[in-house]
Structure 1
Amino acid sequence: MADTDQEDRTEEPSLRRLQQAIERGDVAKSQEINTWFVLAGGTLALAAVGDTAAGSLKGMLQGLLSQAGNVPAEPGALKAYGTYALWAGLSALALPLGVILFAGLAGAMAQHRPMITTEPLAPQLSRISPMAGFKRVFGKEAFVQFLKGLLKIGVVGAAIYMAVWPEIARMESFATLDVALLLPAVKAEALTLMKAVLIIYAVIAGGDYVYQRISWYNRQRMTKQELKEEHKETEGNPEVKAKLRALRAKQARQRMMAKVPQATVVVMNPTHFAVALQYEPGMQAPQCVAKGLDAVALRIRALAEENGVPVVENPPLARALYKAVELDQDIPVEHYKAVAEVIGYVMRLRRRRA
């Protein structure tokens, strides 16, 4: 079922899908990168502060051994002696251990920014499912990890062999060296060995990170249905958006119709176009307060007649005004003359009636 589900995920993951995975703590990460950083930190600690730590341990051990005969054979005294030895050893190793710890944190931060999430701690049925457990042990990922383990053993072993074998004769002489000379010689050989391992392991870690990145990206792929659902969530349901557009259009039409009674004149093409114009002394130009087609045009005409607003039938002017002017805007200059004639006619008609 899981394989079938993965086969259905044919669509590229969206940015939102990738971001949600990161927020859940599902990120592309390689344990080999962390291991390489820890090895690098250990190498740096050995090269930079190894002598200092060894000197501190040496002084601590000399002090403990020189005072060993003076420690009373009592539980309290032995406990205090052991506590002192523990803290002295930890203080001597604090700096190298701090370097290694910092290197481990740097390995994690190099792959992804720090984040806090409780999602991985949530109970999941797949963790107790026998089939899921079988897949984790014998599935594709387990097989890849097995091959990767064999590759690491083989490659790192070869690197160690190539670094150590040329020095094998010299290392045999270590058995006859004085203790004071033995430690520096062992440190030098250890650094040579660790440098070789770091170089080889960098290639392994880089390849593993690329593999983990590709695997993570493929896990985030989406089915067509998931893509549609996400589009609805982000862009809005098309049906809801259509209803909102219709509601806004209805409200705008109601506001427009409310202005028709205040119009000066309505210019019409008898049944298809209607443009309501308002003009008062002091206005720069007549203004369009309402316009419409077909049923809306007839409604504008009916409202005008109900409220005593003159209706003038002028098909060419009605069509031209409908196309040229928007609501609450002045009419274009090229229509001034024609509209002035209409408004002049309306004014004369009003005076005659008065």
Structure 2
Amino acid sequence: MADDSEDKTEDPTQKRLDDALEKGDVVKSQEVNTWFIIAGATLVLSTFSGSVGGGIMMPLRNLIANSWMLRTDGAGLMHLTQSLGYVVIAAVGVPFLMLALSAIAGNMVQHRLVWSGEQLKPKLSKISPGAGFKRLFGKQALANFLKGLFKLIGLGAVMVMVLWPDRMRMESFMRVDPAELLPAITGMTVHLLAAVVAILAAVAIGDYFFQYRTWFERQKMSLQEMKEEFKQSEGDPHVKGRIKQLRVQRAKKRMMAQVPKASVIITNPTHFSVALAYDRTMTAPVCVAKGADVLAFKIREIAKAHDIPIVENVPLARALYATVEVDQEIPVEHYHAVAEIIGYVMRLKRGLSGLRG
């Protein structure tokens, strides 16, 4: 069976990207998280190593110096344990909080926080031999191998460059007082971690762009998927067409119901009919209906059934049909021509009324 991804050639829509985010399918580079954690650890070590050591050392010295006064019964031992716990928490609380914030920041710079259980659902693709083969020999596996190789070589070279100048100094650590040993080791460790952070920054940036590209390619859509999404978001074109057709039919029915209220029908006998209504309260005649071809004949039929005058004027009928909409007044440029026709119709009606009288 052909791989469906071969048909996914279109860039994803914003809706597709939003849906992926809601499902927990986000850009995630573990190297970025690692960099933030190691950078945070370096900052903690360089900033709080002295205060953490002092915060723990002084209470322990007091504890050992006054050990003969300690109570070891049940309540006393519980109190001692709680006291030591508070000391440790006070000393390492802020550093651990900074490490936790570093871990959170590693995710926040890549994507906003997402709460989704979609990734926890069991999927057959995860146990598929074919999917497993892709994971072992696919692009991601190759990228991981190259990252590991680069880190191995890069970090090895950095460690040598940082530690090699101090090799003689490290040999003398065997003879240094323990109180002086800790600051020396801390300083060397901070320098080493700073170099490691610089190397891992390059790895993290490269890995993030690779993961983003992989994620973006995974979100690409086929033409069929884009059509389906358009149907869901904008509505089925067939349904929309049917709704539009019904609206047009209802509008035509309402328009035809207005024809009996017309004062005159102006026609081009073969194509157009425009029904105009006018009384002395109006500023200008109003188009109550208009139509072409079959609809034009239907307007004339209704007009004949209600004894509405029908006047043939080919150029005026064409002009009115093209320039005036239903329920709108006629344009100013047609006032004179329409006024003559309506005046003629009114005179005709008065004449007929006189004859009947």
TM-score norm. by structure 1 comes to 0.93
Letter in 2 for 1:7: E
CA shift for structure 1 position 75: 6.3
Q: Deviations over 1:286-325 (max 9, x none)?
A: 1111100000001101111111211112222211211121
Provide the residue aligned with 1:118 in structure 2: 117
2:24 matched to which residue of 1? 25
In 2, Cα distance between the equivalents of 1:104 and 1:271? 80
Deviation sequence 1:200-250 (CA, Å, 0-9, x none): 111011111011111100111112211221222233322122112211111
CA distance in structure 2 between the partners assigned to 1:131 and 1:74 by the alignment? 63
SS at match of 2:308: coil
Superimposed CA distance per residue, residues 141-194 of structure 1 (whole angstroms, 9 cap, x where no aligned partner): 233223322221221121111111111112222222222221211111111111
2:53 equivalent to 1:54: yes
Q: C-alpha separation between the residues in 1 aligned to 2:267 and 2:217?
A: 63
More deviation, 29-38/68-77: 68-77
Q: How many residue pairs align between the two structures?
A: 353
Matched, 1:105 2:113: no
* Match in the other structure for 1:66: 65
Corresponding residue for residue 229 of structure 1? 228
Superposed, 1:170-319 pairs within 5 Å as 170-319=169-318
Is residue 50–residue 96 contact of structure 1 (8 Å, CA) maintained in 2?
A: no
| Worse overlay, 210-219 or 225-234 | 225-234
2-structure distance, mates of 1:135, 1:77: 61
Whether the 8 Å contact between 1:11 and 1:222 is mirrored in structure 2 is yes
Q: Distance in 1 between matches of 2:133 and 2:82?
A: 47
Cα distance change of structure 1 residues 315 and 11 upon mapping to structure 2, 3 Å threshold = same
SS in structure 2 at match of 1:291:
strand
Contact 1:60-1:89 at 8 Å conserved across structures: no
**DSSP-derived class of the 1:49 partner:** helix
State the alpha-carbon separation in 2 of the partners of residues 338 and 139 from structure 1. Answer: 80
Inter-partner Cα distance in structure 1 for 2:135 and 2:269: 78
- DSSP 3-state at the match of 2:108: helix
- Contact kept? 1:267, 1:311, Cα under 8 Å: yes
Percent identical: 48
Gaps of 5+ in 2: none
For each residue in 1:236-274, what CA deviation from the matched residue of structure 2 results, as whole angstroms up to 9, or x when unmatched?
Answer: 322122112211111111111111111000011113100
Distance 1:8 1:90, change over 3 A: same
* SS of corresponding position for 2:275: strand
Partners of 1:60 and 1:135 lie apart in 2 by 56
- Name the TM-score, length of structure 2 as normaliser: 0.92
What secondary structure does 1:323 align onto? Answer: helix
1:313-332 aligned at under 5 Å gives the runs 313-332=312-331
Root-mean-square deviation over aligned CA pairs: 2.0
Deviation at 1:81, TM superposition (A): 4.1
Distance 2:222 2:165 in 1: 57
How many Å separate the matches in 1 of 2:205 and 2:57? Answer: 39
Q: CA–CA distance in 2 between the matches of 1:161 and 1:90?
A: 36
**2:167 counterpart residue number:** 168
Where structure 1 has 5 or more consecutive residues not aligned to the other structure, the ranges are none
- C-alpha contact 2:21 2:114 (8 A) present in aligned 1: no
Q: Residues 302-354 of structure 1: CA distance to partner in whole angstroms, max 9, x if unpaired? A: 11111121111222221121112111111122211211111111111111111
